[in-house]
Amino acid sequence: MAFVYHRTIRFQDTDAAGVVYFANVLSICHEAYEAALADAGIELQAFFGKGEIAVPIVHADIDFRQPFHCGDRIAVHLTATAMDEHRFAVQYEIIGSTKRSAATAQTIHICINVSDRCRCPLPQALQGWLALHSAAAPNPVAADD
């Protein structure tokens, strides 16, 4: 099922033209990713800390359809897809204040062993998270504004 992360665009997200700076949209997507992990019971401090594995992003892309401005309420719809035993993709659709798709993004993550930096299988908790977020039924969750 899709995870939905709600957020208000802040002044700090925008550039001199008053629209969200492109790189900040990927940062907002990462906020949604973190919220989805936490919502599934994954302990963020351990997941992003100095554990035995790391799950870096190895590719990111984004397409824009309309601008975001300070004060706009957005909803980030997140789904995830297992690619193989080591990699997964996270897809994001950002719905703007017009209730239309304003942007889409994707990040690709790979699981590695921290000690030798070699690929390793996705841990059980992450496999469960992928299964939970692989379909498209929305599950609204509010962000801390």
For residues 77 and 29, the answer to whether their CB atoms sit within 8 Å is no
C-alpha 28/C-alpha 11 separation (Å) is: 13
Contacts of 127-132 with CB under 8 Å at 24 or more apart are 127/82, 128/40, 129/36, 129/37, 129/40, 129/42, 129/80, 130/80, 130/81, 130/82, 130/88, 132/1, 132/40
> Which residue is catalytic, options 13, 15, 144, 145?
15
Q: In whole angstroms, how large is the CA radius of gyration of the chain? A: 16
Question: 80: part of which helix (H) or strand (E)?
Answer: strand 73-82
- Catalytic annotation present for 63: no
Catalytic machinery residues: 15
